[in-house]
């Protein structure tokens, strides 16, 4: 599969699929949503605000569905999961390097697009969460704090399934991505939304134009306060979230072990990281 994708115009095909997913044509929408739901029968519409497929205007509308109030209780820990999914690698940030898959490191400076910022997170912690097609695809703030910067970084759109993550060095730092930097009372954190093949787009809630009509950084004139569980962004087809904590924040939310790879997690569940 990876060999075939090397030959294809991945970005153009992904954008084309994104346009298709946004089409609001009643017959086409009903058929595409029904097929998608048939392929991914684990989608639980009982927890969605709109529980009937006919209530959705397009495949993308269905994919980015909102949940009923209270469907994802927000835990009381200092850090909570930003999304539904399953854990990939987690661990300490050492030598400005984090782990993509077992034995496959990548550069934090390249990932963030900023070597100075990468040095701030030395000694901190990272955790990767993969979103499957059936997951809820809105991403939420894992901390209470203040938004101090957003950044969109254009890039490729490789898939981020297991074979790609294990076989394409630095795939997260190659792909399109967008991140939100948060200042908390205990330290700094960054949540990165990583694009992938067939991701229509990534929208950051604090500034939806970033990555669409605008590129680069957005720095608010005043820090924007957020609570844990507030919406951070939306995958308009899904992918991966990487969470970074600086060392003071890692120390403040210390636990006894790293999250275990392949363990399912739901948005709002308590997280912790060893000192």
d(CA 52, CA 191) in angstroms, rounded, equals 32
Q: Where are the domains of the chain?
A: 2-63, 79-274
Query: How much of the chain, in percent, has pLDDT values that exceed 70?
Result: 97
Q: Give yes or no for a contact between 77 and 252, defined as CB atoms under 8 angstroms apart.
A: no
- Candidates 258, 198, 167; CA nearest to 21 is 198
pLDDT confidence band for 2 (50 / 70 / 90): low
Q: Which residue has the higher pLDDT, 82 or 10?
A: 82
Q: Give yes or no for a contact between 92 and 273, defined as CB atoms under 8 angstroms apart.
A: no
d(CA 209, CA 214) in angstroms, rounded, equals 6
d(CA 89, CA 29) in angstroms, rounded, equals 36
Q: What is the pLDDT of residue 159?
A: 81
Q: Is 251 helix (H, G, I), strand (E, B) or coil?
A: helix
How are the residues of the chain apportioned to helix, strand and coil, as percentages rounded to the nearest 5?
25, 30, 45
Query: How much of the chain, in percent, has pLDDT values that exceed 90?
Result: 74
d(CA 67, CA 136) in angstroms, rounded, equals 8
In this predicted structure, the answer to whether residue 238 has a pLDDT above a threshold of 90 is no
In this predicted structure, the answer to whether residue 249 has a pLDDT above a threshold of 70 is yes
Token duo for residue 202: 């990534």
Q: Give tens-digit pLDDT for 60-112.
A: 999 999 999 999 999 999 999 999 999 999 999 999 999 987 778 899 999 99
Q: What is the pLDDT of residue 275?
A: 87
Tokens 């991966």 locate to: 240
In this predicted structure, the answer to whether residue 166 has a pLDDT above a threshold of 70 is yes
Q: What is the pLDDT of residue 160?
A: 82
Q: What is the pLDDT of residue 12?
A: 85
Catalogue the active-site residues: 84, 140, 239
In this predicted structure, the answer to whether residue 140 has a pLDDT above a threshold of 90 is yes
pTM, entire model = 0.93
Tokens 């999304």 locate to: 83
Q: What is the pLDDT of residue 233?
A: 96
């Amino acid at each position: 599969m990876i060999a075939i994708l090397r030959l294809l115009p991945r970005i153009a095909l992904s954008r084309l699929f994104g346009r298709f997913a946004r089409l609001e044509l009643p017959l086409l929408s009903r058929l595409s949503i029904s097929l998608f739901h048939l392929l991914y029968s684990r989608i639980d519409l009982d927890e969605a605000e709109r529980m009937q497929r006919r209530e959705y205007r397009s495949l993308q509308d269905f994919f980015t569905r909102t949940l009923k109030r209270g469907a994802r209780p927000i835990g009381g820990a200092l850090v909570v999961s930003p999304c539904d999914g399953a854990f990939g690698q987690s661990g300490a940030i050492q030598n400005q390097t984090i782990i993509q898959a077992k034995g496959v490191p990548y550069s934090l400076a390249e990932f963030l697009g900023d070597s100075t910022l990468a040095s701030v997170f030395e000694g901190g912690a990272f955790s990767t969460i993969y979103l499957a097609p059936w997951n809820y695809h809105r991403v939420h703030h894992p901390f209470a704090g203040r938004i101090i910067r957003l950044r969109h970084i254009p890039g490729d759109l490789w898939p981020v399934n297991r074979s790609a993550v294990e076989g394409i060095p630095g795939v997260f730092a190659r792909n399109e991505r967008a991140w939100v930097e948060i200042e908390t009372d205990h330290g700094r954190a960054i949540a990165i939304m990583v694009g992938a093949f067939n991701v229509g787009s990534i929208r950051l809630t604090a500034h939806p134009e970033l990555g669409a009509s605008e590129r680069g950084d957005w720095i608010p004139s005043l820090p924007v306060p957020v609570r844990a569980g507030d919406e951070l962004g939306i995958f308009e087809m899904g992918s991966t979230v990487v969470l970074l904590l600086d060392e003071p924040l890692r120390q403040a939310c210390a636990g006894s072990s790293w999250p275990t790879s392949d363990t399912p997690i739901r948005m709002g569940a308590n997280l912790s990281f060893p000192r």
